[in-house]
Amino acid sequence: MKFRVERDVFADAVAWAARSLPSRPSVPVLAGLLVEAGDDGLVLSSFDYETSARATLSADVSEEGRALVSGRLLADICRSLPAKPVEMVMEGTRVSLTCGSARFSLQTMPVEDYPTLPDMPTATGTVPSEAFAHAVAQAVTAAGRDDMLPVLTGVRIEIDGAQISLLATDRFRLSHRELGWSPRTPDDTFAALVPAKVLGDTAKSLTAGTDVTIALSTTGTGEGIIGFEGAAAGGVRRTTTRLLDGEFPKVRSLFPAEHQTVARVDKASLIESVKRVALVAERNTAVQLQFSDGVLTLDAGSGDEAQASESIQADIDGADITTGFNPQFLLDGLGAIDEAVVELAFTQASKPVVLSGSDAEPRPGETFRYLLMPRRLLS
């Protein structure tokens, strides 16, 4: 194996493929990055039996071949290289990397022990890359992080014709994002539960090209894999991951059809006020929100401890209401909303609030809603 490649393109592709490497691999070869040089250029791959990453890029290949080297070490080396072309050569059981006057010699791993990467499923459709990355970033806000409840660490992707819905919940909050896309078959309907971290990292990394291709393969029991492919500097990047097994809760019914109180508040002002008032909120205590007479009053702290209070303007329709929320969860939801004015819709104080952007001209099929459970207020 012998090839020559541009330093920036190579370093970026190595870093991208290496990001999926397991921190504690079950077998040593899974810590490796597979480097393959052939007629189609250079292919860099990683795989941990759950998620695979494959970057294809242009390179000047003198001798075909493949080698398995420590992925994290190669990524560290590439970040430190000077801005000159990189040359890699297989020398027995070692790989020589040269860039300018810098030269590294890396021990290889047994490439024959490396598992075969899964094939990309048949393409299901395409979605604009920037819109997809933004929608996923909004949806994953509410995804769970408790591995003891693996189903809640995923994002449910529901595809119905030209519409994609993304749903995530950790039991205390719920996000729902819709966006349009171009399906392969207009009448197709699919549902898949995708690990939130993989989905978030992948969507964010595939914005160099115009579109992202989504490829889904499922069985009747929800098993299967999903793949994402997009253009990148110097080539193409592809990720596949196994779908999460389990029944995602039926959360759509949690969004109420009617509301008794609706308040509209300047988002930036509300975020700054929550941040200030929350400074005195003890661990796991709520920030109180009181809506009355065109004013939203925020309070935190109680008893002999530090206290804080602040008031901001609010456009309120309906009855006065006082409730409280986990301040960080509230900030997460506010931060995920694009519009400058946020709408908070209530049924009653003990029921969840629905946060959304207050837009005079809402974009059809591109809505984002964030439902947040209230917290008990200290007396």
pLDDT digit string, tens, across residues 174-220: 999 999 999 999 888 989 999 999 999 999 999 988 999 999 987 54
Taking alpha carbons only, the member of 174, 182, 77, 178 closest to residue 123 is: 182
Mean pLDDT confidence for 50-71: 96
* Res 86 pLDDT > 90: yes
Q: According to the model, what pLDDT value does residue 227 have?
A: 97
What 3 state SS string does 298-313 have? EEECCCCCCCEEEEEE
Mean pLDDT confidence for 36-45: 94
Whether 179 contacts 366, CB under 8 Å:
yes
In this structure, the dihedral spanned by the alpha carbons of residues 27, 29, 33 and 37, taken in order and rounded to 10 degrees, is: -150
Whether 371 contacts 343, CB under 8 Å:
no
Average pLDDT, the chain: 93
Q: Which CATH class is domain 255-372?
A: alpha beta
Mean pLDDT confidence for 296-308: 87
- According to CATH, the topology of domain 123-252 is DNA Polymerase III; Chain A, domain 2 (3.10.150)
Tell me the percentage of the chain whose pLDDT exceeds 90.
Answer: 85
Q: Where along the chain do its domains lie?
A: 2-113, 123-252, 255-372
Tell me if domain 2-113 and domain 123-252 are identical in fold.
Answer: yes
Q: Could you read off the pLDDT of 87-113 as tens digits, one per residue? A: 999 999 999 999 999 999 999 999 999
* Res 116 pLDDT > 90: yes
Distant-in-sequence, close-in-space partners of 368: CB < 8 Å, separation ≥ 6: 135, 138, 175, 176, 177, 178, 336, 337, 338, 356, 357
Among 133-142, 173-182, 302-311, 354-363, the minimum mean pLDDT is found in: 354-363
Mean pLDDT confidence for 64-77: 97
Mean pLDDT confidence for 279-296: 92
Whether 374 contacts 325, CB under 8 Å:
yes
Three-state DSSP class for residue 167: strand
The pLDDT-based confidence of 123 (bands split at 50, 70, 90) is very high
Mean pLDDT confidence for 335-362: 90
How many angstroms separate the CA atoms of 321 and 259, rounded? 12
- According to CATH, the topology of domain 2-113 is DNA Polymerase III; Chain A, domain 2 (3.10.150)
How many angstroms separate the CA atoms of 317 and 257, rounded? 16
Q: According to the model, what pLDDT value does residue 251 have?
A: 94
Taking alpha carbons only, the member of 12, 19, 8 closest to residue 201 is: 19
Q: According to the model, what pLDDT value does residue 363 have?
A: 65
Does the pTM exceed 0.85? Answer: yes
| Lookup: tokens for 354 | 């629905």
* Res 221 pLDDT > 50: no
How many angstroms separate the CA atoms of 357 and 203, rounded? 23
* Res 359 pLDDT > 80: no
308-313: strand order across its sheet? 308-313, 295-300, 287-292, 321-325
**Phi-psi sector, 205: left (phi>0), alpha (psi -120 to 50), beta:** alpha
| Lookup: tokens for 272 | 């700054």
Q: According to the model, what pLDDT value does residue 366 have?
A: 80
